[in-house]
A and B are shown apart, each in its own frame.
Chain A
Amino acid sequence: MTQSTPADGPPPPLPPVDHASPQRAPGPEGPGIVAEHVSRAFGSVQAVANLSFTAPRGAVTALVGPNGCGKSTLMLMLASLLAPDSGRVLVGGVDPAENSAAVRAQVGWMPDQFGAWDSLRVAEVLEVMGRAYFLPTAPLRGRVDELLELLDLVPLAQQPAHVLSRGQKQRLGLARALVHDPQVLVLDEPASGLDPASRRRLLQVVRSRAADGATVLVSSHILGELEEMADHVVFMDGGRAVDASSLRDLAARPRPWRISSLHHQALVEALDQLQVRHGGVVAGDRTTSGHAEAVVELPDDATAARLLADLTAAGARIIGFGPTTGRLEAAYLASDAAQREGAL
């Protein structure tokens, strides 16, 4: 799916792009988003540097990286608000530099900070945005009602937007981005400030948009949720795409697993018998679960499954066996960016 640009080395070849028809109407074929060697600087700050990646249609692509790594700048370029200094982006096959309006018509952009007109009510915000996309009046009213229902905003419909809590504003921001039924969704930190129920709702909305064929690009620091939401991930650092993978492929990467046992000595003996390297078994009186625990680094999920079977056969009295982090978090924590303070 995604093409990454290693930090030190030439970018890998990109999927072919139809240069002859940069303004062609978006069709079902080809990736929804293509970034080709995109760079953008603000003064002396290089926000995005030679970034290349693709995001397929009908899937959710996650952008993961530390603060200031260029995620929001990239999203501004995809929303046709900011031009790259060099390189180009294609949204639905259209270059914003060539036909900005065509790109804006198919992109639903949710910024990381919600800006609301102070005096407008929640329903009015959606109505105004629908009109800003020149939606006909009759379908727009139905659309506004539908989005209020979808994002659980009906009780707030007549509330001034500026009095909403952060989480409520995030829901309104998502509804605003969806108002014109965009084929490409660009969501910058959509889960920020959401309560658990709203996060589930966000997950469902994003997945359903992808299931309907939309291209969804989402950034977040909440990696556990991204793992549930995304099909693909692009890791960014220093304005570059430093890694990319499908979530499925991340299962084949090493990550730490926690083993819990009812009996400390049984676990120690089983691990020794199987010659598994570990950092020591912690007795039950020193763990929050009350069980003896050990953490082991395993290369992939298949090895983990074998180890579980072997430990059980060796009489380790296993009560719990699972990864200490999600696949996404493990992959991110293994990156250079994660080693820096404030990386997420």
Chain B
Amino acid sequence: MSTPQTLDAGPGNDRPRGRGSYALRWRGLRLVTSLELRQRLRSKRWYVSLAVWTLVMMGIGALGLGPTLYSAQWDEVGPIAAMVFSLQMILVLFAMLLVVPALSAGSINGDRTAGTLATLQASLLSPTEIVLGKLLAGFLTGLAFLVLALPSLVPIALLGSIGILYMLRLLGVIVLLTLCVTAVGLGLSALTSRQLGSVVLAYVIVFGVTVVLPIAWGSTAIVLNEEREVTNYYSVYDDEYSMEKSRCVPEQVEETVPRLDLSLPLLWGNPVVLLAEAAPTLPADYDPLEDPDTDLLTTLKTGMRSAATTTHPVHSVYCSPEDPGYPTDLGTPPNRPVWPMGLGLWLLVGVLSLLVAVRRLAVPVRHLGAGTRIA
């Protein structure tokens, strides 16, 4: 039996000095990321789920476009392809929201249960390297689903004449949301002792911002309204017995005006709303009767922007545009974007989650949560 020899280049050369928990070295980050990825890449379940996902995306594309290509004229394919494209992007988003929490929200407490987290904590890796390594691995895993959706998305985008910038914006939003949801999952995983608890909590949060908060937002219409003096334009007919000649006259009335703009922050974090925000803005003079071929995301965006705007006091015009006195300048309604607040919120929550995770992984541990074991 040989005796362990002293290593020429022992540990400590890369020892975090001064920065403690927040030390970040490329070698440490790469080690944790590769460790996490290696475990997933060696799992057969992982490849099966990716294959199923690819087939589902291809199937949805074919189902959406197939009947159209078979029965319609070629010039009718574009609008349908654009609609299918927007549906697929929403589907990709939902898939990310399903996959990412499952991967990240059990990452830290799962390792703690398996006894591998303490081994890393007892090494020279800093908590920041462990947390960011797991973040990067979870993020890259989520992106794999996005990349595998591209073979289905790109042909449909081409058929629907989807602009490259539009597509890149959509992908950018999904990438950012994936990163933030991964970070939130890690934070929950660091806070809770049981893997199941943090995964469920992550899904509750995702379900909450995606489904519950929009319902809550709609419900606020019942209470969020106010009496306001508005100017309505009505057609007034000169001849009591003839409706041929009319003119447009303003009338000041007190009306109950909905104020959904006040509760709009409930939708800031909604992933679908944020995705829709990446869609092109319709022109101010857009007439849906003349050009009905907008995709789902553009329609959603227009609706959200409208909801985000305080009701204009002179927007109720009941006259015909041919009537004399028809108001020609009602002012340009404000077109307030939702995405800066939404993405800002997600980024803030994501960063805070990472900070929580780093703090929870810092050693030596002073306060240990009830039921939590270090090793």
Neighbouring B residues of A129 by C-beta, 8 Å: 119, 123
Chain A min CB distance to B22 (Å): 12
Q: Report the bound CA distance from A310 to B304 in whole Å.
A: 104
Q: Is A204 an interface residue (CB 8 A)?
A: yes
Given contacts A42-B368, A97-B364, A119-B42, contact A104 B2 (CB under 8 A): no
Chain B min CB distance to A112 (Å): 8
Q: Report yes or no: A101 in contact with B20, Cβ–Cβ below 8 A.
A: yes
Neighbouring A residues of B314 by C-beta, 8 Å: none
Q: Report the bound CA distance from A117 to B115 in whole Å.
A: 9
Chain A min CB distance to B45 (Å): 12
Neighbouring B residues of A76 by C-beta, 8 Å: 374-375
Q: Report the bound CA distance from A306 to B366 in whole Å.
A: 55
Q: Report the bound CA distance from A312 to B8 in whole Å.
A: 58
Q: Report yes or no: B116 in contact with A180, Cβ–Cβ below 8 A.
A: no
Q: Is B56 an interface residue (CB 8 A)?
A: no
Q: Is A163 an interface residue (CB 8 A)?
A: no
Q: Report the bound CA distance from A209 to B25 in whole Å.
A: 31
Neighbouring B residues of A43 by C-beta, 8 Å: 370
Instruction: Name the residue on B nearest A102 (C-beta).
Output: B15
Chain B min CB distance to A220 (Å): 17
Binds B, one of A131-139, A221-229, A246-254, A297-305: A131-139
**Interface mask (B7-43 → A, CB under 8 Å = 1, otherwise 0):** 1111111111100100101011001000100110011
Q: Report yes or no: A181 in contact with B123, Cβ–Cβ below 8 A.
A: no
Q: Which of A128-160 contact B (CB under 8 A)?
A: 128-129, 131-136, 139, 143, 146-147, 149-150
Neighbouring B residues of A139 by C-beta, 8 Å: 7-9
Q: Report yes or no: A128 in contact with B118, Cβ–Cβ below 8 A.
A: no
Chain B min CB distance to A33 (Å): 15
Q: Report yes or no: A149 in contact with B123, Cβ–Cβ below 8 A.
A: no
Interface size on A, residues (CB 8 A): 52
Q: Report yes or no: A150 in contact with B16, Cβ–Cβ below 8 A.
A: no
Q: Is A235 an interface residue (CB 8 A)?
A: no
Chain A min CB distance to B41 (Å): 8
Given contacts A97-B364, A136-B9, A146-B2, contact A104 B38 (CB under 8 A): no
Q: Report the bound CA distance from A178 to B7 in whole Å.
A: 11
Chain B min CB distance to A4 (Å): 24
Neighbouring B residues of A111 by C-beta, 8 Å: 115, 118-119, 375
Q: Is B71 an interface residue (CB 8 A)?
A: no
Q: Is B67 an interface residue (CB 8 A)?
A: no
**Interface mask (A45-74 → B, CB under 8 Å = 1, otherwise 0):** 000000000000000000000000000000
Chain B min CB distance to A131 (Å): 5
Instruction: Name the residue on A nearest B121 (C-beta).
Output: A81
Q: Report the bound CA distance from A43 to B2 in whole Å.
A: 45
Q: Which of B350-375 contact A (CB under 8 A)?
A: 363-366, 368, 370, 374-375
Instruction: Name the residue on B nearest A42 (C-beta).
Output: B368
Q: Is B4 an interface residue (CB 8 A)?
A: yes
Q: Report yes or no: B375 in contact with A146, Cβ–Cβ below 8 A.
A: no
Q: Report yes or no: B364 in contact with A82, Cβ–Cβ below 8 A.
A: yes
Instruction: Name the residue on A nearest B113 (C-beta).
Output: A115
Contact of B116 among A100, A117, A181 (CB under 8 A): A117
Q: Report yes or no: B115 in contact with A81, Cβ–Cβ below 8 A.
A: no
Residues of chain B touching chain A, judged by Cβ–Cβ distance below 8 Å, are 1-17, 20, 23, 25, 27-28, 31, 35, 38-39, 42-43, 111, 114-126, 363-366, 368, 370, 374-375
Supply 9 A–B pairs (Cβ within 8 Å), ascending by A: A76-B375, A97-B364, A100-B364, A101-B23, A115-B117, A118-B114, A132-B120, A180-B7, A180-B10
**6 smallest A-B Cβ distances: which pairs?**
A115-B115, A134-B14, A132-B123, A83-B364, A133-B11, A119-B42
Residues of chain A touching chain B, judged by Cβ–Cβ distance below 8 Å, are 42-43, 76-77, 79-83, 96-97, 100-102, 104-105, 107, 109, 111, 113-120, 128-129, 131-136, 139, 143, 146-147, 149-150, 176, 178, 180-181, 201, 204-205, 208-209, 211-212
